[in-house]
Structure 1
């Protein structure tokens, strides 16, 4: 039996064990444990990891660094922040481009980036100044006109990306420009080559924590293109340009990128001569690290950490990730840049949705599949934002008996006696579940959810009978494929806690297509003048988190830890927000990565 087959067998056995444990627990009261009592349960805590790598040895001059992008599919290749939508592309972009503003560990914009800013007394007008020496990779200066141009493209009626939303409609004159009523955006003014002024309709606390668009677009390259053709152009797909520490030398589409150092980088010449990014299949991550094929990876499969915690040639860093897994329910469609709820959708009954949350034991999933490095999700503001995450809210807890009661009360009963519930009209109820392929856990985890729902009498079937690869999955979810009733995905929360761009009525990313007047009210209040009072904003988002628990358009399954192995030859490497790692500072102590003993 091959290693891959053996792993799948082991995970199948784990799934059986997990279901047995879940069935035994039955959603009863938790056992109390004496404070301070510990046991060797094989679980890990992210609090025991450091965000910053230990530096050992002297840096050599130059050198090459290899970064592994963990994926079972090719990256899409939309390599410009104004147009891309997927996480893999964003990580490719991150090596050659950057935002004009940086932020600290509290997600507040600093004055340390490629641009600085001043705010008017009323909090509505921001004046940005781009530093001298900030140049595109072709030597042209990054200008205020480029920053304005990015806003003009994203706000253009022919723009085909996903960025246009509440962050842009809050700019004076943007909606009139987007509607084609005017040719310019009245709220944005170029003061001089390096100075841009933006006036917003409302002063909000989010303006200094992530809702300002900080990625310019090189007008000298894109200025003569039709907006509708930009995202598919060679300037995005084959020869992308930025102003970051490294510049793109060559691309093997979807597979790898070679970057060379940008000697003209505004922070200073990078230590490394070269960075190589390559796609690494989740099933060979450990081997790739042990052999030195890569120096680090963007997403180490945390289920593989216990068996490799003592890998001799790497140091493991870790942090609470801004990402979380979730199960989403399709509740409507996206039409004319707005969510249109469908009261007749298959998943429209809130008690059906609540029952499906009650039916799954995510605490045990986190322990058995991920050894405590993923854990039960409760609300839609993750603990990576501790100031606003409501740790007192338990979400909907595991209780399969309550799930059955809710289904009975809602009229989902087993009419035919086959153990599966029919819909309220007595017709067969089949719930089509879309889930992504990935590492060895993807399939058994998906099957766990299907079996957990089966135990409460719901016939949930995997869409097309198989897992979907990343790009196909998101294409179908974004297009509201009528074959999808529920789906399993993940979000990375933005640095700004405001969830409007994920869950607002006018948010394309609102894939569940849920909308309500109460949701509109709370999201608007969360960025209102009264929300400048942090305590008030906490209260607002506490109420919003509870609304999402009550309405269940989706539910979080797992919060996530990011565990990042870094080869021991690497210096000046760190992860997370506010750690002040700059790419140009990364260095190595030897020409080749160290190999595991």
Structure 2
């Protein structure tokens, strides 16, 4: 660890903590953190970004609560949604993008097909499935007594409706990806050439069959099985309402329904949700009578846990040491389906063609500069000193959770300032005027605007730490607008390709499908760097091809893809993360094990 970097970080943290203590009388801390659920369709969930203990202490966490008592009959629980911004309130799996909305929806929405510990679909959910011998068809059969919260049965046509919305020519969300495009007839439907999706066949009210153009292993981990209640939200297909009207509708934002274990009783927009037990839930009676979800800031979450004001919260890693001292809670943790990264503005989204387009005039067009900036970042110090070992340097864009596809032999671009300087020299970025900062290869001033989001005590020190890392190798970086940006405003900058943004710090929930096309494909709206290349297209296509049912073949393809992205650096992954959850010791039947999908239904309290 470079002594200079550590002193800088400590200085930034000390100055800020003294300021906060003077203002509030207590030290505050980091930002909220959390996103992807077990569904592969949560890929692209936009996230907030976040004295080292002994290694065995930092990594040895349970997955299950220790309380083995029976749940009381009509228990109540308060869930803390840790966020420094209000939740947006787009409470539809088709249209949402932010992690806070995903947390709100998890109590009342559900996929028809459950997933196992390897994130592969099973027959243990509200529906079963059959896949054809050629792997090009999947038949989904909804079980009996699977009903929406208003008592109407969940129908095969409701699953069809999700696909009709996702592929609609007027759809402006970001979840139209390879697995939807791969449905036979979907490209023509999406282009407005037909009003029917020929590859989806509703056999009866309980049975629906999908036919795919290409056989792909993503059918097991990336198949969308979340229906939309057509009768409740209204039917865009009949002209009852427009897509814009649906997205703004109270049926989504104020009075949403699902078929999950709890139903929405009341929403205070952006602030809280009251859920009540759904007595007719298809698995049986849920353990809790009610759940209150309320937004708590990252700075106040621990105090709320300590006072018993909330029973559950995902804890920012920088608060780990303080969280350990709270007697009425216990900590659970696992490596998360997420990573943080620095993104580079390389182009724009072409709305007419619905694809990303590279722009060679962008400041970050030279990949040698991007490579240098990755080498300049001291992510190990960030992970150890701010996150107490609960963050560790990221190497590639396929996370370690996908053990079979993460290339552990690829070291990415580790911290090496001298290598960074050499790459900048090679690129022709030299300090011409002797002010300590490099000019570009044309001898012009080179200053980068850095967009980063708000979020607790560490957000600003981390941004400034990276800015100093880059300054140490001669790159001048300044915060866009001289400040951090609120979560929703930050992602709005990226979605609109704000030309003022040269680089940015973001975070992705990956979802449960290792296929990275939904984040980095040519037609992926979530591809905020707007990176494209023929080699990228080729590898992403191969990774979901019929050949990819051969695991070794798919592993080789994804190793090549990880190597390509380390070479091209459209984004520089910074840290992988442990997701740290604090739960009140009165909670029973709760687990964060990926193989357990019953926690919402079975979770209760013993007192």
Please give the TM-score of this superposition, normalised by the length of structure 1. 0.91
Number of the residue aligned with 2:228: 217
Partner of 2:215: 203
Rounded to whole Å, the distance in 2 between the matches of 1:346 and 1:3 is 33
CA distance in 1: counterparts of 2:97 and 2:323, whole angstroms: 32
**Counterpart position of 1:384:** 401
SS at match of 2:582: strand
Q: CA deviation at 1:42?
A: 4.6
Contact 1:126–1:198 (Cα < 8 Å) also in 2: yes
Task: Report the counterpart of residue 168 of structure 1 in structure 2.
Answer: 180
- 1:259 maps to what in 2? 275
Cα shift at 1:470: 0.2
Residues 474 and 238 (structure 1 numbering): CA distance in 2 closer, same or farther, change over 3 Å?
same
User: What TM-score results when the alignment is normalised by the length of structure 2?
Assistant: 0.90
> Is it true that 1:302 corresponds to 2:302 in the alignment?
no
Q: Is the 8 A contact 2:405 2:555 kept in 1?
A: yes
Q: How many Å separate the matches in 2 of 1:407 and 1:44?
A: 39
Give the 3 Å change call, closer, same or farther, for CA 240–580 of structure 1 in structure 2.
Answer: closer
SS at 2:299 equivalent:
helix
Q: C-alpha separation between the residues in 2 aligned to 1:143 and 1:117?
A: 15
Consecutive unaligned residues of structure 1, counting only runs of 5 or more, are 11-38, 591-597
Tell me the residue number matched to 1:117: 129
Match of 2:330 in 1: 315
Residues 45 and 372 of structure 1 are in contact (CA less than 8 Å); yes or no, is this contact kept in structure 2? no
Separation in 1 of the partners of 2:21 and 2:539? 47
Give a deviation string over 1:240-290, Cα, whole Å, max 9, x none: 111110000111110110000100100111111100101010001110110
1:293 alignment partner in structure 2? 309
| Structure 1 residue corresponding to 2:339, chosen from 296, 314, 324 | 324
**Partner SS for 2:66:** coil
Distance 2:486 2:563 in 1: 33
Question: Contact (CA 8 Å) 1:43, 1:367: kept in 2 or not?
Answer: no
- Once the 2 structures are TM-superposed, how far is the Cα of residue 579 of structure 1 from its aligned partner? 2.4
User: Aligned pair 1:340/2:340, yes or no?
Assistant: no
| Aligned with 1:491 (options 501, 508, 512) | 508
Structure 2 counterpart of 1:52? 64
Is 1:276 the equivalent of 2:287? Answer: no
Rounded Cα–Cα distance in structure 2 between residues aligned with 1:225 and 1:72: 34
Task: Give the match's secondary structure for 2:332.
Answer: strand
Following TM superposition, by how much is the alpha carbon of 1:227 offset from its aligned partner in structure 2, in angstroms?
2.2
Structure 1 CA distance for aligned equivalents of residues 166 and 52 of structure 2: 53
Question: Could you tell me whether the CA contact under 8 Å between 1:283 and 1:439 is conserved in 2?
Answer: yes
Q: How many residues align?
A: 559
Q: Secondary structure at the residue paired with 2:523?
A: coil
SS state at 1:441 partner = helix
Note if contact 2:453-2:486 (Cα within 8 Å) is conserved in structure 1: yes
Q: What is the RMSD of the two structures over their aligned residues, measured on CA atoms? A: 1.7
Equivalent position to 2:439, from 398, 407, 422: 422
Match of 1:367 in 2: 384
Q: Give the distance between the partners of 1:402 and 1:304, measured in 2 at CA.
A: 34
Q: CA deviation at 1:7?
A: 7.2
Counterpart in the other structure of 2:540: 523
CA distance in structure 2 between the aligned counterparts of 1:430 and 1:45, rounded to whole angstroms: 42
Which of 109, 115, 135 is residue 103 of structure 1 equivalent to?
Answer: 115
How many Å apart are 1:582 and its aligned residue?
A: 3.0
Contact 2:357 2:532 in 1 (8 A): yes
Contact 1:53 1:317 survives alignment (8 Å): yes
